[in-house]
Amino acid sequence: MEEEKKKKRVLVVGGSGYLGQHILEALATSAGGGGDCDCDYDVAFTHHRPIPPQDLLQAISPVRAFHVDISTGHGLDAISASFGQPHVIVNCAALSVPRACEIDPAAAMAINSPSSLVNWLSSFHNDDSLFIHLSTDQVYEGVKSFYKEEDETVPVNMYGKSKVAAEQFIVANCSNYAILRSSIIYGPQTISPVTKSLPIQWIDSVLSQGQEVDFFHDEFRCPVYVKDMVNVILSLSKMWISGGQKMQLLVNVGGPDRVSRMQMAESVADFRGYNHSLIKPVSASSVNRGVVSPADISMDITRLIEVLGIKPISFRDGVRATLDISNTS
């Protein structure tokens, strides 16, 4: 009975997505706590598809899956009834393709601004939960390098606008939160393979064909390795569970390197031994993607390192880790 009391409930919203699956896998392997956190995890996740991925369920059992429509909140009551109030909620659910957000702004706002989740949390009438929310580097305008958290948010597309709205709603309505402004997340494939294109694997695939490929030389990001992103989320969870002190945190979560799409491709080419002549530099302004894309939204991650003591690995090391795993999987 004593052991049961120590279990801490963690709910991963959007757990069948790319980051969500990596978080669930890490929670499954770190169950039993560790470090300063003398606790075990009782884990659940939400999924939007009618049926959760069975290979994921089998790999991380025991875990509970709930079918939830995050835009309406339908399905959250079932979590209250059988799982209870989570100690930590990690919200990975999003309409994250900028062009899709541009085409359907109403859907972008309904999915990306988590009002249903926050209102559901409020129904427990206490401050016992930490709400960890994945935001984006696209809240920044993209007119300079290495944005800091206190810089003004001037998003240039609907995806960024919906994420700014989400941040504002969380700050206004949540007692305890950690908002993570993430850059491009890359790394190995998930337990249940996601259908979306993974950036490093896509670059590797097109360059392996030996044909010239266009890459933007003037659009800059700070891509972050997925396992670093997971470490940030687990560290925040353990801080909250161990201390229970008020947390209101906004932090950039990117890798340490400011790279263009062209430089990303060059790193893959260097690891694989592909000829750099296959990589053709083009300007982002020369391509109409149906959505405005910010030019330079590289981020300063000083706060991340100071608050959590986590220094993400370099982009080159992340590429090596991603492709090494791909080779052995």
Residue spans of the domains in the chain: they are 2-195+223-256+297-313
**What pLDDT is recorded for position 132?**
98
Q: Which CATH superfamily is domain 2-195+223-256+297-313 in?
A: NAD(P)-binding Rossmann-like Domain (3.40.50.720)
- Sequence-ordered strand ranges (E) for 17-136: 40-47, 64-67, 88-91, 130-136
**Using N-to-C axis directions, what is the helix angle for 158-173 and 105-112, rounded to 10°?**
30
Rounded to an integer, what distance in angstroms lies between the CA atom of residue 308 and that of residue 236?
Answer: 8
Q: Is the distance from CB of 177 to CB of 247 less than 8 angstroms?
A: yes
What pLDDT was estimated at residue 328?
A: 56
The pLDDT, as a whole number, for residue 60 is 93
Nearest to 200 by CA among 291, 293, 266, 275: 266
pLDDT of residue 315: 98
Print pLDDT tens along the chain (329 aa): 344 456 899 999 999 999 999 999 999 987 544 444 455 899 999 999 889 999 999 999 999 999 999 999 999 999 999 999 999 999 999 999 999 999 999 999 999 999 999 999 999 999 999 999 999 999 999 999 999 999 999 999 999 999 999 999 999 999 999 999 999 999 999 999 999 899 999 999 999 999 999 999 999 999 999 999 999 999 999 999 998 689 999 999 999 999 999 999 999 999 999 999 999 999 999 999 999 999 999 999 999 999 999 999 999 999 999 999 755 55
The model's pTM: 0.95
Please check whether residue 12 is in contact with residue 90, taking contact to mean a CB–CB distance below 8 angstroms. Answer: yes
- What pLDDT was estimated at residue 327? 59
Structure confidence at residue 206 (pLDDT): 97
Q: Which long-range contacts (CB under 8 A, 24 or more apart) does 230-236 make?
A: 230/19, 230/22, 230/23, 230/26, 231/310, 232/180, 232/304, 232/308, 232/310, 233/23, 233/90, 233/132, 233/180, 234/23, 234/26, 234/27, 234/30, 235/308, 235/310, 236/130, 236/132, 236/178, 236/308
Burial class for 259, CB neighbours closer than 10 Å (0-12, 13-18, 19+): buried
The pLDDT, as a whole number, for residue 243 is 85
